[in-house]
């Protein structure tokens, strides 16, 4: 039995490539046209995605707090985020007179660029991936870490003590929690034997690693959710902003579109973290399969791969959003103690357990 809907994105890409090379030279087709088209499509997708995530977060907050959320602008408040965007577009961008103006303007660009570059190796569906790099896990970890440079720039260049303190907190927080995030990802790298995201997805053809990997992989998944939430500076780990203490943290002095760029980067990072969790632990676009259960696996194959990917990703996004409206904000000492005294030691021991499990072949 074959799936009802099969869309070969690779064939569409090949046809588009052949058409372009028939119009212009090979180098011009690749460098000037395909990359530009891919970049524009990805940019439009991420902006529309952030619009939806902004609306989703407000509705999730209303659901958890037993209220309606936005319901005035557009049908059921669906155009509220558009109204907010228009407001930010027309707000004056103020640059403090004592700031380092070059770094002040460069910081949001670096933060957004790092977030967008992290999307490249993610497979949104079967045969639909911007860049199938063989070190995808390492690439995402490395590129996403560059965002802290922009945050430190923003805090330092603003010439504001609250901004500087928020940036210093962010540096300590991101550098600390990257260790637990990395060890959580290494667990699946050990089991799958590859750093490529596409290979990791294919290794889950007979079952997702969250199911096949027993308790150690479940522990890695929980640690990844906690640590990655801290790494993208979302509540209850948003010590870098902490309005009650730091006014707005590292982006206190930003307004207008520069502030919107930080907000855009936050939602892109939220999507990237959720997509990586869905890909690494829940099979990405791979349907739910159980070993040799051919009848069940065939039924699951009828669901398009893109629906599997986005369904899993938005489920994890919902969980992370729920954290924000459920748990109180931690103090900075509690945040660092959680990582260095609990998450990191557990991750190290868990990595050893996963290694033994992989060597002995104890997983399903």
Q: Residue 230: pLDDT above 70?
A: yes
Q: Nearest Cα to 192, choosing from 231, 141, 140, 136?
A: 136
Lowest-confidence region among 21-30, 204-213, 315-324:
21-30
Q: Nearest Cα to 60, choosing from 317, 275, 258, 363?
A: 317
Greatest CA separation for the chain: 68
Burial bucket for residue 52 (CB in 10 Å: 0-12, 13-18, 19+): middle
- Please compute the mean of the pLDDT values over residues 233-255 and round it to a whole number: 79
How far apart (Å, rounded) are the C-alpha atoms in residues 115 and 263?
11
Query: pTM score, two decimals?
Result: 0.89
Residue 217's pLDDT band, with cuts at 50, 70 and 90, is: very high
Q: Residue 271: pLDDT above 90?
A: yes
- Please compute the mean of the pLDDT values over residues 14-34 and round it to a whole number: 66
What contacts 359, CB < 8 A, 6 or more positions away?
Answer: none
172-176's contacts with Cβ under 8 Å and 24+ in sequence apart are 172/336, 173/230, 173/231, 173/233, 173/237, 173/239, 173/240, 173/335, 173/336, 174/145, 174/147, 174/148, 174/231, 174/233, 175/148, 176/336, 176/339, 176/340
- Please compute the mean of the pLDDT values over residues 336-360 and round it to a whole number: 92
Strands (DSSP E) found in 42-129: 123-125, 128-129
- Please compute the mean of the pLDDT values over residues 95-115 and round it to a whole number: 90
Residue 314's pLDDT band, with cuts at 50, 70 and 90, is: very high
In the block, tokens 């907050």 appear at: 61
How far apart (Å, rounded) are the C-alpha atoms in residues 155 and 233?
15
Render pLDDT for 121-172 as a digit per residue (tens, 0 to 9).
999 988 888 888 888 899 999 998 888 899 999 999 988 888 888 888 888 8
Q: Please give the residue that has the higher pLDDT: either 254 or 27.
A: 254
- Please compute the mean of the pLDDT values over residues 326-342 and round it to a whole number: 89
Residue 109's pLDDT band, with cuts at 50, 70 and 90, is: very high
Q: What's the pLDDT score for residue 39?
A: 81
Helix, strand or coil, per DSSP, at residue 123:
strand
How far apart (Å, rounded) are the C-alpha atoms in residues 124 and 83?
29
Q: Which helix (H) or strand (E) holds 115?
A: helix 101-117
Residue 13's pLDDT band, with cuts at 50, 70 and 90, is: low
Q: Residue 237: pLDDT above 70?
A: yes
How far apart (Å, rounded) are the C-alpha atoms in residues 104 and 95?
8
């Amino acid at each position: 039995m074959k799936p009802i809907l099969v869309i070969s994105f690779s064939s569409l890409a090949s046809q588009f490539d052949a058409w372009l090379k028939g119009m212009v030279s090979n180098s011009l087709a690749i460098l000037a046209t395909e990359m530009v088209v891919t970049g524009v499509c990805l940019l439009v997708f991420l902006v529309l995605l952030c619009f939806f995530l902004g609306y989703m977060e407000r509705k999730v907050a209303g659901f958890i707090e037993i209220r309606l959320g936005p319901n005035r602008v557009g049908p059921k408040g669906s155009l509220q985020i558009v109204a907010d965007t228009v407001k930010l577009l027309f707000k004056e961008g103020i640059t403090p007179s004592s700031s380092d103006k070059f770094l002040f303007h460069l910081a949001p660009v670096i933060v957004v660029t790092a977030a967008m570059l992290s999307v490249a190796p993610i497979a949104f569906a079967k045969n639909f991936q911007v860049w199938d790099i063989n070190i995808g896990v390492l690439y995402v970890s490395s590129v996403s870490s560059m965002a802290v440079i922009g945050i430190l720039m923003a805090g330092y260049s603003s010439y504001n003590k609250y901004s500087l303190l928020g940036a210093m907190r962010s540096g300590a927080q991101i550098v600390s929690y990257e260790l637990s995030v990395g060890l959580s990802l290494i667990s699946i790298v050990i089991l799958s034997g590859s750093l490529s995201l596409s290979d990791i997805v294919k290794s889950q053809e007979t079952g997702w690693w969250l199911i096949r990997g027993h308790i150690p992989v479940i522990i890695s998944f929980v640690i990844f959710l906690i640590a990655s939430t801290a790494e993208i500076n979302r509540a209850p780990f948003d010590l870098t902003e902490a309005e009650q203490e730091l006014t707005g943290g590292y982006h206190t002095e930003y307004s207008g579109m520069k502030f919107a760029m930080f907000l855009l980067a936050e939602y892109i990072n939220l999507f990237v973290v959720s997509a990586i969790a869905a890909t690494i632990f829940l099979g990405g676009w791979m349907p739910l399969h159980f070993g040799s259960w051919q009848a069940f696996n065939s039924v699951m194959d009828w669901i398009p791969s893109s629906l599997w990917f986005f369904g899993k990703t938005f489920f994890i996004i919902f969980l992370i959003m729920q954290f924000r409206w459920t748990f109180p904000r931690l103090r900075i000492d509690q945040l660092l103690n959680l990582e260095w005294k609990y998450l990191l030691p557990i991750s190290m021991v868990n990595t050893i357990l996963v290694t033994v499990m992989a060597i002995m072949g104890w997983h399903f």
